Chain A
Amino acid sequence: MDNDAKMLELLGSTLTNVQVEYRAAKLAERTKLRPELEKLLKRYAEFQLKLLEDGVITTKADLEEMETIREEINAAAKKQKLAVAIVKTAAFVASRLA
């Protein structure tokens, strides 16, 4: 386990402990504990999010390029449809020339 994973585990354990404490607390204490719980939850989520973001390879530019490729394939489909129509027409004309 590398340091990032260890850090995440430590944050996670601390969070679970605070959650246990929060649930066991009386109503007045719960109100006081909530900011600490939320702060810890935010810290854990931010760290997890950072690790997740570090592992993301795909970019917005990729998405734009995929859209361009899709348009090219769609244009190819239209071109092919037209070509098939031309071939069919030519075949029809050729048969009439007989």
Chain B
Amino acid sequence: MKKSVRISAVVICCAFALLLQGCTREKAEAIKVAAQTLRAEAVAALDQLRSILRGNTAMPPQDNDKLAEDLRQEEAFSIEMLENLLTEGEIGAEEAAATDAVLQRIEIHYVAFAEMFDELERGHFFASDAVRAAERHAVNLTVQMITLARMIEEKKIPVKLNAKRILLVEQIQRHNTIPDENLKRQHLKAATQQLLALAAEERQLREEAIMKCLKAAEAGRLLTRLIREYRTLSAEEILRLTQQSLGVAAQLSGQNPDVVGALERFKAVETRIKEDPYWSQLLEKRFQFD
């Protein structure tokens, strides 16, 4: 009797231990890492957007020589003028804070999403329903990044280095006052080079921002797949999917990335989400597709 109790207990223990230590732990780890990757990529993309939005309206720093000259010429310097000079740095600060708040609100979702899975490795056996409930959010967060990339592409989030543009305009205006035609031509030729360099810099910044959003979207796409197939994916399949996703991310980060091609690819991802009855149901028609 004693022996049969002991054998039964050992068998139950082994079976339970197998359930707890089985392959779902690897899946849990994969989901946790994918969620952290999504957060890191999204935060990087949003940081760049924040900097772009500030740059779109920024003015260059005050030229001290010009200020000194203005002060020298101003015979009736008043307290209003002083007040204006002292507070010039505050111009646009309120607007920048409002824009930052919207981006911060988006960012919080990615942070909260990743934090959801902090304890998943320790609770993978009992957490499959909770993981399933997270899928809708993974889809939303993925689509959010695709939407931001598209907004940059469509110039609803323009990318312009406003301070550099202003300096260039001022420079060209100064060159145009040069009386010597030859000298003026030389200076304007140099300004043309600066103009081309500025255009290239803005284009590069724009492409970088789009690619960062798409890298985050790719991390979200992998994560969504891992969550959706949480119960059925094998460790080998997880590894294969992760490697594929890393390959896509590497392409997006490479030299001279194909922005148009990448946007097309993610447009296809978005369309798949839209056409998939399972995913579109998850989105609850909150997001209106084109």
Using a CB–CB cutoff of 8 Å, the interface residues on chain A facing chain B are 1-2, 4-5, 8-9, 12, 15-16, 19-20, 22-24, 26-28, 30-31, 34, 37-38, 41-42, 44-46, 48-49, 51-53, 55-59, 62-63, 65-67, 69-70, 72-81, 83-84, 87, 90-91, 93-95, 97-98
Chain-A contact segment, one of B108-116, B199-207, B242-250, B261-269: B108-116
Instruction: Tell whether A73 pairs with B120 under 8 Å between CB atoms, given A28-B76, A97-B5.
Output: yes
A75 to B102, CA, bound (A): 32
**Bitwise interface map of B from 5 to 20 toward A, beta carbon under 8 Å scored 1, else 0:** 1100110110011001
A78 cross-chain contacts in B, Cβ below 8 A: 123
Q: Does B280 contact A (CB under 8 A)?
A: no
User: Chain B interface residue count: which class?
Assistant: 35 or more
Using a CB–CB cutoff of 8 Å, the interface residues on chain B facing chain A are 2, 5-6, 9-10, 12-13, 16-17, 20, 53, 56-57, 59-60, 70-71, 73-74, 76-78, 80-81, 84-85, 91-92, 95-96, 98-99, 102-103, 105-106, 108-109, 112-113, 115-120, 122-127, 129-131, 133-134, 137, 140-141, 143-144, 147-148, 151, 154-158, 160, 162, 165-166, 169-170, 173, 286-287
| Main SS at interface, chain B | helix
B156 x A63 contact (CB < 8 A): no
Output the nearest chain B residue to A58 by Cβ-Cβ distance. B109
Which one of B16, B131, B162 contacts A83 once the chains associate, using CB atoms below 8 Å? B16
A19 to B131, CA, bound (A): 51
A76 to B269, CA, bound (A): 33
- Minimum CB–CB distance for A21 against chain B, Å: 10
Instruction: Tell whether A70 pairs with B116 under 8 Å between CB atoms, given A28-B76, A87-B16.
Output: yes
- Minimum CB–CB distance for A66 against chain B, Å: 5
A72 cross-chain contacts in B, Cβ below 8 A: 127, 129-130, 133
A73 x B287 contact (CB < 8 A): no
Instruction: Tell whether A48 pairs with B137 under 8 Å between CB atoms, given A12-B160, A20-B169, A57-B147.
Output: no
Beyond contacts A5-B155, A55-B156: 16 other A-B pairs, Cβ-Cβ < 8 A, are A1-B155, A2-B154, A9-B155, A24-B170, A41-B92, A56-B106, A58-B141, A58-B144, A62-B137, A77-B120, A78-B123, A80-B125, A83-B16, A83-B126, A90-B12, A91-B10
A67 to B178, CA, bound (A): 65
B74 x A28 contact (CB < 8 A): yes
A38 x B91 contact (CB < 8 A): yes
A87 cross-chain contacts in B, Cβ below 8 A: 13, 16-17, 20
B81 x A15 contact (CB < 8 A): no
